[in-house]
Structure 1
Amino acid sequence: MSTATLSSKGQITIPVAVRAGLGIDTGDRVEFVEVSPGHYELVAATLPTTALKGLIGKPEQPVSVEDMNTAVRQRAAKAVDP
């Protein structure tokens, strides 16, 4: 098990074994994800945005920009007039 100590500035040094396991290096970003109260996971946030391609499937029917704008206007109108 790897451990780290919190500094007076709220900083920690991630142990070498953990950095290697996450595949992170100097300048890379990490995220702290709460998995349950008081328990967090450290996740490497190093993937490029192109890695998201294909995550969501294509809609059954294409939606035009005009239809999207209409839907946004209708939703905004509902928010103003409850």
Structure 2
Amino acid sequence: MQESTVTTKGQTTLPRDVRLALRLTPGDRLRYMILDNGEVRIVRSQPVSGLKGLLQGKTQRVVSLDEMEAAIAKGASGQ
């Protein structure tokens, strides 16, 4: 188990193994999620630019704006 000490300013140094597990580099941002049981989960924030190309190659079908609007309307009506 990894530990660190909190300073009077509320700062701490993440242990090396934690930084490696999260693949952190200088300048990365962290997100803290407080769970219902009082535990805190720390995850590395992902910039929106990291989503670029996420869906590339998932489909070859091109749809028109009318088809998109029809699909949205159908989803909104629950059909």
* Residue matched to 2:38: 38
TM-score, reference length from structure 1: 0.59
For residues 5-49 of structure 1, give each alpha carbon's deviation from its aligned partner in whole angstroms, at most 9, with x where no partner exists: 10000001000000000001111100100122421100101x231
Distance 2:5 2:15 in 1: 10
TM-score, reference length from structure 2: 0.61
SS at match of 2:21: helix
| AA matched with 2:47 | P
SS at match of 1:62: helix
* Structure 1 moving runs of 4+ over 6 Å: none
Report how many residues are paired: 57
SS at match of 1:36: coil
Q: How does 1:46-57 map to 2 (within 5 A)?
A: 47-50=46-49, 51=51
Distance 1:8 1:42 in 2: 21
> Which 5+ residue runs of structure 2 have no aligned equivalent?
56-66, 71-79
2:69 to 62, 72, 82: 62
